[in-house]
Structures are given as structure tokens and as C-alpha cells.
Amino acid sequence: MRLPQLKMVCRTFVLFAILFMVLGADRADRLDSKIPDISQRINTFTMDLLKQHSGGKDLPANTILSPQSIFHGLAMSYIASGGDTRKELARAFHFPEENGALLKEIKGLWQQLHRSDKHKRIDITLANSAWLDETYADFRKEYVEEIQRAFDASLHRVEFKQKERVSEDINKWISEKTRGKIQRSVEPSDFKSRSDTGIIDEPTLVTVNAVYFKADWGSRFDKASTRNRTFHTDETATMETPMMHQRSLLPYSENAKLKFLEIPYIDNLYSMYVILPINLIGIRQLMQDVTMEQILELKRRAFAHEVDVVFPKFEMKSHLRVKEALSAMGVKSAFSNQKADFDRMIIKKLEAFRIYISEIYHDGWIDVHEEGTKAAAATSTVHISFGCSGPPRPRLVQFHADHPFLFMIVHNESRSILFAGWISNPRKIAQRDRE
């Protein structure tokens, strides 16, 4: 499975899952009741995944991912799951027990997200597709119809033995949906046969989710103010990198350890949240310390300040092996050719009695500059007049993101995270390209 100026900050993500067939505790107590259930699930999963990713032995300097993409991609498998497979996926993704509840929530969220489609200065695409090979497996009609109806997934019938052609077709679909930002997400080798004497183990289904977002800032950075400044990559190392600057009225708050800044995109439909440690610490320590509850509390307490913002200009690509992260988060049986239970996908028969997930990959790209973010978004500007009889001028605070920080792009109506990641080296573009 695979899964973007100041012009715009851009984030693009693609998620795809390759499922193979084989022959022969809910944490609702952690959810904020004021946020829609579907957004609570996605936001909690986002922090869980970031924490897991930051705890690995090969910590990337920068990371960008789309929890929306991963969540929706795996939801297409979850609705056909049962037994331990279902329980493990539900714990990791905070899925509800009943398919009906999940599908209703997803439909409502997609309706909210697609309302911004018509905005002339916001470009957002969320798309699903399913690529089926029925050489051995007979897919249940009700499952195929469900993913088409509930996820608006386009259906493609293929033969994975034609590895080069299928990978080319899938990559073309992904490239079109992500405006060419993700061009190679699958390889012919992803569809190689695993069959052995007396055992047929062949690729039979690929589900793909693509997200693209592009938008202008509500208050743009002045290009003339962008210049090289010092960025502290850790406690001992520094580097010179282009840093943008603006002084604007923006929502800001802080606690004893963290500063929080919200930078709205045009018309306030989306925002970037930036979480900056007050003291210089590494990403691993930051991700150990920060919680979603803290971020929500900082957001709740944020109010308009005059903020002197210094923020790095950066472009980044990232590749994440989601299967490894989910396995560490307790998802085991879904990846087992002996234990996986996705029986609601196929009609069982001797030559096709089990289907399991072989791999999950996630690719992301983001470009942040003076006009905004690329991946999709918009720009909004707020003008406030001050007079003699008005309230006192908001106090000036500094928000200089000159050391490692966490960021999120959030859809404000649903309060759902579209993209999230961290930066500890703004000049490093590529992270963990496919081997």
C-alpha cells in the first residue's frame, strides 16, 4: 500500500496497501468530546504514529505524513475484517466496533473536506482506488460495492502477473491525483509471486489513497525579509538556512515547555499548528514529552497576539514503511498469511481461503515558502483596527522556529489533521527513499 509560498506550503501523500491471498481495547477515554468522533480518532492515531516513528533506531531528521491517507486506506480493509485482526486494527486506529458508525463518520468528514473544493485559492484532492486481480480470488460483491459507495473508490481490474504494466498504471493514477508530486509509489517487485510447491501466495488487491493540498497563507511572509539565519539542529550543531519572517496578529499560547502558534491559510479554512519547545531539545525528546491533550489545550488557550514569526523555508520528501510501525503498535494478525481475517472480502474456496496485508508504504512531500504550503490550502488575511477607545494592543511575542519543531495542517471545520510531521534539518530534502 502506498500512499505536499511563502507561496504556499504544499503537502502530498499517497497510501497504498498490497494484500495477498493464501491458499492451502478501545481508548475512547482519550478522546475530546468537543471534537467530532472521526477527527478524534484520526488525531489520536496521528500522535500514536508519530511517537512510534520517532522511537525507531533510524530517526529521520524530517518527517511528513498524512494520517488521513493512512486512516482511510486501512479503513477500506477494516470494514472486511473480523476476529483478532479487527480487534488489533480497532485498537491502533481507534476505529468504532460497527462498520456503519465508521462509514457514517467518514462520509460526514469527506463532505466537510470537499466543501473547500470550490475555493479558487485552495486545491485539495482526496481520492481512493482499488486494483483487483480475480485470477484466484472471487471478491464479494457487497465488499466491492461498499468501497465504491462509502469511499468513492475507483475500481480497476488487473492481472498482477503483468507487474510492470500494473505498477505503471497505479503510479500514473497516483501522479495525476497528486499533481505530479508523487510519481513513483509502487514498483513491479511489490507484486512478485510468493507461491511455493503446493502453496499459492499471490497479490490480489491493492488499495490506494492519495491526498493533495495546496493553499496560500492568510498573512503572507514578505519575500524581501527572507534571509539566511542560524538553525540549531541539535544541542551542538547549527546550520545556515533560508528563514522567512512576518509580524502579524496570530493565535498564540504557551506552557512551561512549549510554544504554540496557529498560522491560518486563506479564509481560515485550514491552519498550520506549530509546536516549538521553549528549550532546545531533539525530536526524540520532544515526541516523548508532547501529547495530543497538551496540543488541544494550547489550541484552546490560544488568542490573538502580535507575533514576530521566524520560520524556515523548506521542501521535504519522506517514505514510511507503515507496516513496521503498525506491527509495533500491536497490529500483528493482519500481516499473517496464517491468521489474517479479511473473510468479508472474498468468497472462500480451496484455492483462495485467506487474504492478508503484505505491505503498507506511505510517501509524502511538502513545500513551505513565503506564500503558503503546497499540497493544498488557501490564504486569509485579517485586518484589525486599533483606536483610542479600543482594547489595548496585544503584547508582542517572539516565535522563532530556529530549532526542531512539530507541525500539523488541520482542517478547521472538522478539526481533523490532514498532515503532520517534524523538522530538525530544514535543508535536508529527501528522507528514506525506497530501497
Whether the Cβ atoms of residue 263 and residue 377 lie closer than 8 Å to each other: no
Whether the Cβ atoms of residue 18 and residue 160 lie closer than 8 Å to each other: no
Instruction: Give residue 110's Cα distance to chain centre.
Output: 15
Q: Give 132-182 pLDDT, tens digit per residue.
A: 888 888 889 999 999 999 999 999 999 988 999 999 999 999 888 888 888
CATH number for the region 8-216+316-367 comes to: 3.30.497.10
Global pTM reads 0.86
More confident residue, 323 or 431: 323
Predicted pLDDT of residue 364: 83
Question: How far apart are alpha carbons 150 and 154 in whole angstroms?
Answer: 11
- Cell representation of residue 219: 498573512
Q: Give 228-280 pLDDT, tens digit per residue.
A: 999 999 888 999 999 999 999 999 999 999 999 999 998 899 999 999 999 99
Q: What is the mean pLDDT of residues 74-99?
A: 96
Class of 223-313+379-427 per CATH?
mainly beta
Which residue ranges make up each domain of the chain? 8-216+316-367, 223-313+379-427
pLDDT over threshold 60, residue 385: no
Query: pLDDT band at residue 318, thresholds of 50, 70 and 90?
Result: confident
* 167-175 contact pairs (CB < 8 A, 24+): 167/191, 169/131, 170/16, 170/129, 170/131, 170/206, 170/208, 173/129, 173/208, 173/210, 174/2, 174/14, 174/16, 174/208, 174/210
Phi-psi label, residue 81: left if phi above 0, alpha if psi -120 to 50, beta otherwise: beta
Q: Is 215 exposed, middle or buried (0-12, 13-18, 19+ CB in 10 A)?
A: buried
Q: What is the DSSP string of 315-335?
A: EEEEEEEHHHHHHHTT--GGG
The proportion of the chain whose per-residue pLDDT surpasses 90, expressed as a percent, equals 51
Predicted pLDDT of residue 33: 47
Query: Among 68-72, 116-120, 146-150, 378-382, where is mean pLDDT lowest?
Result: 378-382
Question: How far apart are alpha carbons 217 and 381 in whole angstroms?
Answer: 8
pLDDT over threshold 60, residue 398: yes
- Same fold for the pair 8-216+316-367 and 223-313+379-427: no
More confident residue, 179 or 17: 179
Establish how many alpha carbons lie within 13 A of residue 285's alpha carbon, considering only the half-sphere containing its beta carbon: 14
